[in-house]
C-alpha cells in the first residue's frame, strides 16, 4: 500500500478504531480431528464478530513467506514490511524494553565457542543458560571504547544486546557471524564510507571482548549481527491522521508500536488489565492497538490444547471491546503459529472487520475456512489499516 496515497486522502473525524492482534492466530488442523485450533475453540464472541462483520485471510508479507513479529505487525499497521525493514539489533533492543535512543547503534550478539585457533566450533555456545549469559554480559560491561558508552544486556540463552551510544555512529557495518563452522569470526567491515569509524569501534569492542571471554568456555567468543539504528518510519499520526495508542504487555510489541509513532500506554499483564487501560484512554486516542500474546506462545510450545484455551481466553474480552462501541473493530493476527509446527508459519491469517459499513458477508464463524470464503478474500495485510480508515469514513475519494 502506498502511504503517500493514503496521506493525501486522510481526513479527521471523531471515530474510534480498535485493532486486536491475536498473535500467531492462524493454525493447522489437528491430525486426529481435522479441526484447526480456531475450529476446535469455543469462541462465541469472535464467531459473532465474524458473522456481523466482513472476513478474509491476510497475507502478512508475501505468499509463502513466514514473518517474524516485526514484519507481521508492521504490515497490520499499514507498512509494507519489505519496504520498511527494521534491523535485528533494534528489534532485539525493543524486545527487552531497552531505552533505545535515536542515535544509538544496536547489535544482536550471540555468544559462541571457538577453538584454540579461533575457529568457530559452535555458533551458539551450546545455548548457554540466560543466567550464564547475564554473567558474561556483566563482564563485558568492562569494555571501554573511546567517545562512546557501551551497554551489554542479556536477552535469552546465548543471545544478548550490545548498544553503542555516542555521536556519529552509522549503520552500514557488516555482520561478524560467518554463518558456518570451522572459520574465524569475521571482522566488521564498513559497507559505506561513513561507517568506517563505527566499524573500527565495533572491532575494538570485539577485540577487548575476546580477551574478557578467552577462558569462559564454552562461551569464549561472540558474534554480532544486525548493527542498526532507530529506523525513520513514517509516523501513524502523520500518515494516517490517527492519534494511535498501543496496549501491549510484551516489550517487543510496545517497541514496534513506538517505531510507528504510537503512544505506548502503561498496562497490567492480564487481558482485563488491557481492557481497563482501553476504557481509561478511550477519549484520548483515535486508534487502539491491543495485543494478545498467549496464542503465539502456546503455538510455539506446540501445545494444541493450550492454544485452543488461549483463543477461548482472548474471546472473553471481545464483548468488553464491543461495548465501548468502536466505529471500526478489527481482529487479526501478525502471522499464523500452528501448534503442529511449533513456530511461526506462512499460512494466511484469519481476519474480521466490523463497522456499520463493512458489508457483512456469509462467513459465520471466525476460523481459517470461513474466513477463506469471506468478502475480503485472501489479501495483503497492509490493506487492513486503509480498510479500517475507509470504514471509519476517514478517507476521501481518490480522483475526481
Residues in region 56-85 near its own copies by CB under 8 A = 56-57, 61-71, 81-82, 85
Residues 132-191 that bind its own copies (CB under 8 A): none
Cα–Cα distance for residue pair 162/175, rounded to 1 Å? 13
Residue 142 CB, nearest distance to its own copies (Å)?
28
Site string for its own copies, 93-122 (x = CB under 8 A): --x------------x--------------
Residue 395 CB, nearest distance to its own copies (Å)?
6
**Pair 367, 350: CB distance under 8 Å:** yes
Residue 99 is given by DSSP the state -
Residue 347 CB, nearest distance to its own copies (Å)?
5
In sequence order, what are the residues at sequence separation of 6 or more whose Cβ sits closer than 8 angstroms to the Cβ of residue 285?
A: 16, 242, 243, 244, 245, 263
Residue linked to cell 456469509: 362
Residue 375 CB, nearest distance to its own copies (Å)?
5
Site string for its own copies, 212-251 (x = CB under 8 A): --------------x-------------------------
Residues constituting the chain: 400
Own/partner contacts of 216-219, CB < 8 Å, gap of 24 or more, are 216/136, 216/139, 217/113, 218/113, 218/122, 218/125, 218/126, 218/128, 219/111, 219/112, 219/113, 219/125, 219/128, 219/132, 219/133, 219/136, 219/158
Q: Interface with its own copies by CB under 8 A: which range of 12-20, 53-61, 200-208, 305-313?
A: 53-61
Q: Is 11 a binder of its own copies (CB under 8 A)?
A: no
Residue linked to cell 468502536: 326
The number of beta carbons lying within 10 Å of the beta carbon of residue 377 is 13
Residues 275-304 that bind its own copies (CB under 8 A): none
Residues 323-342 that bind its own copies (CB under 8 A): 338, 340-341
19 vs 213, beta carbon nearer its own copies: 19
Residue 343 CB, nearest distance to its own copies (Å)?
8
Q: Is 377 a binder of its own copies (CB under 8 A)?
A: yes
Site string for its own copies, 19-38 (x = CB under 8 A): ---------xx----x-x--
Residue 389 CB, nearest distance to its own copies (Å)?
6
Q: Is 374 a binder of its own copies (CB under 8 A)?
A: yes
φ/ψ region of 232 (left if φ > 0, alpha if ψ in -120 to 50, else beta) reads: beta
5 vs 214, beta carbon nearer its own copies: 5
Cα–Cα distance for residue pair 69/111, rounded to 1 Å? 23
Amino acid at each position: 500500500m502506498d502511504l503517500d496515497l493514503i496521506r493525501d486522502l486522510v481526513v479527521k473525524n471523531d471515530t474510534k478504531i480498535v485493532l486486536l492482534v491475536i498473535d500467531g492466530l492462524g493454525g493447522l488442523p489437528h491430525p486426529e480431528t481435522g479441526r484447526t485450533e480456531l475450529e476446535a475453540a469455543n469462541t462465541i464472541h469472535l464467531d459473532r464478530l465474524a458473522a456481523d462483520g466482513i472476513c478474509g485471510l491476510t497475507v502478512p508479507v508475501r505468499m509463502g513467506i513466514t514473518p517474524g513479529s516485526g514484519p507481521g505487525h508492521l504490515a497490520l499497521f499499514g507498512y509494507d514490511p519489505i519496504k520498511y525493514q527494521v534491523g535485528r539489533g533494534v528489534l532485539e533492543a525493543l524486545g527487552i524494553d531497552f531505552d533505545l535512543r535515536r542515535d544509538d547503534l544496536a547489535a544482536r550478539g550471540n555468544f559462541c565457542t571457538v577453538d584454540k585457533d579461533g575457529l568457530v566450533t559452535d555458533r551458539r555456545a551450546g545455548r548457554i543458560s540466560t543466567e550464564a549469559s547475564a554473567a558474561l554480559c556483566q563482564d563485558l560491561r568492562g569494555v571501554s571504547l573511546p567517545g562512546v558508552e557501551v551497554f551489554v544486556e542479556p536477552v535469552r540463552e546465548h543471545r544478548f544486546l550490545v548498544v553503542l551510544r555516542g555521536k556519529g555512529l552509522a549503520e552500514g557495518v557488516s555482520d561478524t557471524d560467518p554463518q558456518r563452522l570451522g572459520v574465524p569470526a569475521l571482522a566488521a567491515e564498513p559497507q559505506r564510507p561513513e561507517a568506517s569509524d563505527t566499524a573500527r569501534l565495533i572491532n575494538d569492542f570485539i577485540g577487548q571482548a575476546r580477551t574478557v571471554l578467552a577462558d569462559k568456555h564454552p562461551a569464549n567468543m561472540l558474534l554480532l549481527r544486525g548493527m542498526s539504528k532507530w529506523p525513520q518510519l513514517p509516523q501513524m499520526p502523520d500518515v494516517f491522521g490517527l492519534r494511535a495508542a498501543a496496549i501491549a504487555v510484551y516489550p517487543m510489541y510496545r517497541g514496534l508500536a513506538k517505531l510507528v509513532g504510537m503512544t505506548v500506554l502503561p498496562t497490567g499483564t492480564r487481558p482485563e488489565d488491557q481492557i481497563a487501560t482501553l476504557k481509561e484512554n478511550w477519549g484520548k486516542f483515535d486508534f487502539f492497538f491491543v495485543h494478545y500474546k498467549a496464542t503465539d506462545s502456546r503455538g510455539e510450545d506446540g501445545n494444541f490444547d493450550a492454544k485452543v484455551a488461549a483463543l477461548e481466553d482472548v474471546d472473553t474480552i471481545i464483548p468488553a471491546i464491543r461495548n465501548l462501541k468502536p466505529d471500526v473493530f478489527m481482529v487479526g493476527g501478525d502471522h499464523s503459529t500452528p501448534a503442529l509446527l511449533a513456530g511461526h508459519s506462512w499460512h494466511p491469517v484469519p481476519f474480521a472487520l466490523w463497522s456499520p459499513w463493512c458489508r457483512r458477508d456469509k462467513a459465520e464463524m471466525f476460523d481459517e475456512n470461513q474466513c477463506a470464503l469471506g468478502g475480503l478474500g485472501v489479501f495483503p495485510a497492509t490493506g487492513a489499516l486503509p480498510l479500517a480508515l475507509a470504514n471509519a469514513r476517514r478517507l476521501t475519494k481518490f480522483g475526481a
